[in-house]
């Protein structure tokens, strides 16, 4: 399969698992298309055609879209050292055709802020008024844009070009899958206390593996005997953490416990202030779940696709 086709499949699976409806995602793409028509000649030169069909600005190909892919190596973070490692593995006869990163690089990273507004839809589903979620999200998106803007963004893309390695990232489509998975496997169930949630998380192979390695799910606010209240997984997808004010908004909307991948110190302060429990599910283990679910789908589409693992990724197959 061509790498460009592989990305199309990833995007389709990501849309199917998106917290927004398919119609809402299509509407967002349509708006972008309409914007294209209104561009000046100068602006049109900088227009990103990719986003006319791919709603996940953090998931795209960085090198060799036309490459034929029979085997892919998957990692959480892929930069120059990992690309050199792949080159070395290939020199030793591994035959790795393409490198897939979870966390975005290059333009995928430059545009990370552009996937964040899906969090507004996600919170709306849990009772936070859209207007409030929107007003609080805008400055947070601008902050992320400014922070990443100063980075040296294209080092790994250039390294992939030098090494002639097909290279791409799959971020939000995989995070959408882990969000749906945790919603269904954990949030829909009834727990008497937070300790029971930790036990349920440890039943999931990725969390168990990481726990054995010393990186278990932890309670960041609340104790094992704390009552749960309304349980949500609102911080698993949508690029990166939303604004700290979202903690207060969720408290007002009646949420009691948030499952998350990473808690900032400011969010923790807010959680303490508003008595929100925080369960920090191991970040990289959570990313592993999303990638594993995506690879289950991709290998169902293409049973001959061979998957290698590195950089924090460990393959677990599900039926
Ligand atoms: Fe992730
Ligand atoms: Fe991540």
| pLDDT tens-digit series, residues 197-231 | 999 999 999 999 999 999 999 999 999 999 999 99
Radius of gyration, CA atoms only, the chain: 20
Angle, CA of 19, 24 and 27, to the nearest 5°? 150
How confident is the prediction for the chain on average, in pLDDT?
97
Residue 154: exposed, middle, or buried by beta-carbon count in 10 A (0-12, 13-18, 19+)?
middle
Per-residue model confidence as pLDDT tens digits over 260-289: 999 999 999 999 999 999 999 999 999 999
Query: Could you give the CA distance from residue 247 to residue 273 in angstroms, rounded to a whole number?
Result: 10
φ, ψ of residue 71 to 5 degrees: the values are -140, 145
pLDDT of the residue at 10: 98
> Would you say residue 319 has pLDDT above 90?
no
pLDDT of the residue at 178: 98
User: Tokens representing 75?
Assistant: 């990692």
Spacing, Cα 283 to ligand 2 middle (Å): 6
Q: Are the CB atoms for 292 and 272 separated by under 8 Å?
A: no
Spacing, Cα 110 to ligand 2 middle (Å): 16
**Class of domain 178-282 (CATH, top level):** alpha beta
Domain extents for the chain? Answer: 3-171+286-309, 178-282
Q: Which pLDDT band holds residue 15 (cuts at 50, 70, 90)?
A: very high
178: helix, coil or strand?
helix
The residues near 170 (Cβ < 8 Å, ≥ 6 apart) are 7, 10, 14, 59, 100, 101, 102, 291, 294
Query: Could you give the CA distance from residue 298 to residue 305 in angstroms, rounded to a whole number?
Result: 8
Q: Are the CB atoms for 41 and 90 separated by under 8 Å?
A: no
User: Tokens representing 101?
Assistant: 């990163």
Spacing, Cα 180 to ligand 2 middle (Å): 16
Q: Are the CB atoms for 60 and 107 separated by under 8 Å?
A: yes
The residues near 113 (Cβ < 8 Å, ≥ 6 apart) are 141, 142, 144, 145, 148, 239
Instruction: Please name which ligand lies nearest the alpha carbon of 174.
Output: 1
pLDDT of the residue at 317: 98
The pTM assigned to this predicted structure is 0.97
Spacing, Cα 91 to ligand 1 middle (Å): 30
């Amino acid at each position: 399969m061509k790498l460009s086709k592989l990305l199309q499949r990833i995007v389709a699976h990501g849309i199917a698992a998106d917290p927004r409806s398919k119609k809402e995602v299509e509407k967002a793409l349509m708006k972008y298309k309409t914007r294209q028509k209104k561009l000046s000649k100068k602006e049109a030169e900088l227009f990103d055609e990719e986003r006319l069909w791919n709603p996940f600005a953090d998931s795209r190909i960085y090198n060799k879209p036309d490459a034929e892919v029979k085997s892919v190596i998957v990692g959480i973070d892929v930069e120059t050292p990992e690309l050199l490692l792949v080159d070395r593995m290939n020199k030793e006869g591994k035959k790795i055709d393409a490198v897939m990163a979870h966390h975005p690089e290059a333009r995928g990273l430059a545009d990370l802020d552009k996937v964040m507004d899906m969090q507004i839809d996600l919170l709306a589903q849990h009772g936070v008024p859209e207007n409030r979620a929107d007003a609080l999200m805008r400055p947070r998106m601008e902050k992320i844009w400014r922070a990443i803007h100063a980075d040296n963004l294209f080092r790994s893309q250039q390294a992939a070009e030098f090494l002639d390695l097909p290279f791409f990232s799959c971020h939000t489509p995989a995070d959408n899958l882990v969000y749906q998975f945790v919603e269904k496997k954990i949030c829909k169930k009834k727990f008497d206390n937070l300790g029971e949630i930790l036990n349920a998380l440890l039943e999931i192979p990725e969390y168990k593996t990481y726990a054995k390695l010393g990186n278990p799910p932890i309670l960041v606010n609340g104790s094992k005997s704390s009552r749960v209240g309304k349980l949500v997984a609102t911080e698993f997808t949508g690029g990166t953490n939303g604004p700290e004010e979202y903690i207060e908004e969720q408290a007002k909307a009646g949420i009691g416990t948030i499952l998350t991948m990473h808690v900032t110190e400011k969010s923790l302060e807010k959680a303490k202030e508003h008595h929100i429990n925080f369960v920090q599910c191991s970040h990289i283990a959570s990313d592993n779940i999303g990638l594993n679910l995506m690879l289950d789908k991709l290998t169902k589409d293409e049973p001959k696709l061979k998957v290698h693992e590195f950089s924090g990724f460990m393959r677990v197959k599900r039926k």
